[in-house]
Amino acid sequence: MRKVKRLLSVAVMVTLLVSTSGFVSNAAETDRLVSDVEKNVEVLEATVVEDIDLSSEMSPYTMLTECIISVTGDSQGMHIGISTGAVGKASVLGVKDVKIWKKTWYGGWDLVATSSGGESENRSIMGISILYANAVKGATYKITCVHYGNVDGYIEGENDSGAFVFNFE
């Protein structure tokens, strides 16, 4: 009996696959569902934070390090810190195209705020600080940005915080 059910299942799958042989689908990769309605996207100011330069005078090579996105909250709203660095000294080091996304009820992402970011010159470590005052407690957000530097040539990388629920006490 099991063998008969298995053969019938295989026959049904083959029939379904053969009947859809003319189907063609082209899709673009995206992390969010696009809405037809233009949203009011808030533009935020970023404050550049230049930490103590820990690089030495001599470095055998230079490279861009990882980008770290951190989020805290208080009664003022969502505080976002984004830092990046270089092994050795970069002639320019920065974070740009910061986007704050809020998850929709249907699983997509709405862009709710942006910031142009900021940059520093002749540094090995830098960061930016942003306040998003309209954050909603209990809502799911993610933050994306691009960090870049000129370390033996210009290089940049895209970053995504991943989804998180904004809660503060």
Domain ranges of the chain: 31-165
Query: 14: Cβ–Cβ under 8 A, 6 or more apart, which residues?
Result: none
CA distance 64 to 125: 10
Instruction: Check residue 51 and give its pLDDT.
Output: 57
Q: Which two structure tokens, joined as six digits, stand for 137?
A: 């407690």
CATH 1.10.10 applies to domain 31-165: no
CA distance 108 to 31: 8
Instruction: Check residue 63 and give its pLDDT.
Output: 75
Query: 144: Cβ–Cβ under 8 A, 6 or more apart, which residues?
Result: 97, 98, 99, 101, 158, 159, 160, 161
Segments of the chain with pLDDT less than 50: 10, 12-34, 36-37, 52-54, 57-59
Instruction: Check residue 24 and give its pLDDT.
Output: 33
